[in-house]
């Protein structure tokens, strides 16, 4: 069994829901982004998702896209990013660190090199523009126990769910709705559809489920208790940082962590 999945299941013995929060490496600058990551880990967030910025983040909405473009002004290097976040992961062994990026920066680095450099401390990788059909590209990561974390979306056909479920390792990242990151959640009817969609996935796999897109408050996180294992908060934390700096960011994590 995947080390990440085991970690999540052990954590869930004592916590009703886990939190996964997101930081863009290099935004607003590399040092500050590392400080934000340190804050997240110090506060005991279970999973830290670090986005290595890409020039053309097609699955991200305006908040994260603009922040990625600003981060690129600082010329972040993927090799240094992995080194930096590996150090953090080593420093906080009771949490897990995932790398998220788009395909091209990872492709240029090379999946063999990524597997070698990530194996010690990084538990998984999320690549929103890599469809499951291309899973063999990530074989070196799987061999190194770095889990590819696949995305699930609403309206997936059962055969497609089964196809992804068969390849699932560590956790599945379920997108709550169509569209890009950073937009609000929907109506009561939308919530029922969400439950139906997650039930269909649960019927196909034992792998822990994370839900993301549109989760911004502690109330929303608490609503997910018993529904999924992990609530993912991305754009909302970024907006808190943009509004009130590190203090606002820190307060937002405290708010989210009050649920568990």
Active-site residue list: 49, 60
- Determine the longest span between alpha carbons in the chain, in angstroms: 46
Q: Which stretch binds another protein (CB under 8 A): 89-97, 128-136, 197-205, 233-241?
A: 128-136
- Verify binding: residue 131, another protein, rule CB under 8 A: yes
Q: Which residues have CB under 8 Å from 44's CB, separation 6+? A: 94, 95, 257
Q: Which stretch binds another protein (CB under 8 A): 85-93, 145-153, 200-208, 240-248?
A: 145-153
CB of 58 to another protein, least distance (A): 5
Sketch the per residue contact string, 1 through 40, with another protein: x for CB under 8 A, - otherwise.
----------------------------------------
- Verify binding: residue 59, another protein, rule CB under 8 A: yes
Backbone angles phi, psi at 211, to 5 degrees: -120, 130
Backbone angles phi, psi at 51, to 5 degrees: -95, 120
Q: Which is nearer to another protein, 40 or 122 (CB)?
A: 122
Q: Which stretch binds another protein (CB under 8 A): 30-38, 58-66, 82-90, 112-120?
A: 58-66
Q: Which is nearer to another protein, 131 or 245 (CB)?
A: 131
- Verify binding: residue 102, another protein, rule CB under 8 A: yes
Which 172-231 positions form the footprint of another protein (CB under 8 A)? Answer: 175, 178-180
- Verify binding: residue 249, another protein, rule CB under 8 A: no
- Verify binding: residue 161, another protein, rule CB under 8 A: no
Other residues' Cβ atoms within 10 Å of the Cβ of residue 243: 10
Q: Are 225 and 16 spatial neighbours (Cβ–Cβ below 8 Å)?
A: yes
Among 66, 113, 142, 223, binds another protein (CB under 8 A): 66
Among 4, 88, 100, 106, binds another protein (CB under 8 A): 106
- Verify binding: residue 151, another protein, rule CB under 8 A: yes
State the residues that interact with another protein by CB under 8 A.
Answer: 54-59, 61-62, 65-66, 69, 72, 75-78, 102-109, 128-134, 150-153, 155-157, 160, 175, 178-180
């Amino acid at each position: 069994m995947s080390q990440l999945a085991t970690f999540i299941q052990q954590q869930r013995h004592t916590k009703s829901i886990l939190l996964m929060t997101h930081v863009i490496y290099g935004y607003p600058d590399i040092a500050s982004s590392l400080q934000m990551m340190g804050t997240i880990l110090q506060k005991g967030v279970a999973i830290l998702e670090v986005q290595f910025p890409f020039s053309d983040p097609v699955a991200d909405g305006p908040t994260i896209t603009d922040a990625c473009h600003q981060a690129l002004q600082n010329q972040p290097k993927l090799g240094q990013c992995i080194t930096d976040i590996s150090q953090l992961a080593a420093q906080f062994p009771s949490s897990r660190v995932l790398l998220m990026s788009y395909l091209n920066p990872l492709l240029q680095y090379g999946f063999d090199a990524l597997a070698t450099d990530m194996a010690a401390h990084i538990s998984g990788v999320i690549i929103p523009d890599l469809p499951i059909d291309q899973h063999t590209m990530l074989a070196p990561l799987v061999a190194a126990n770095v889990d590819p974390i696949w995305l699930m979306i609403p309206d997936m056909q059962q055969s497609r769910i089964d196809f992804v479920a068969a390849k699932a390792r560590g956790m599945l990242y379920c997108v709550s709705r169509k569209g890009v990151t950073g937009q609000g959640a929907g109506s009561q009817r939308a919530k029922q559809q969400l439950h139906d969609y997650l039930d269909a996935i649960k019927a196909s796999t034992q792998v822990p489920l994370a839900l993301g897109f549109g989760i911004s408050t502690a109330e929303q996180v608490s609503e997910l208790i018993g529904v999924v294992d992990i609530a993912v908060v991305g754009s909302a934390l970024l907006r808190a940082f943009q509004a009130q700096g590190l203090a606002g960011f820190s307060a937002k994590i405290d708010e989210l962590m009050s649920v568990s």
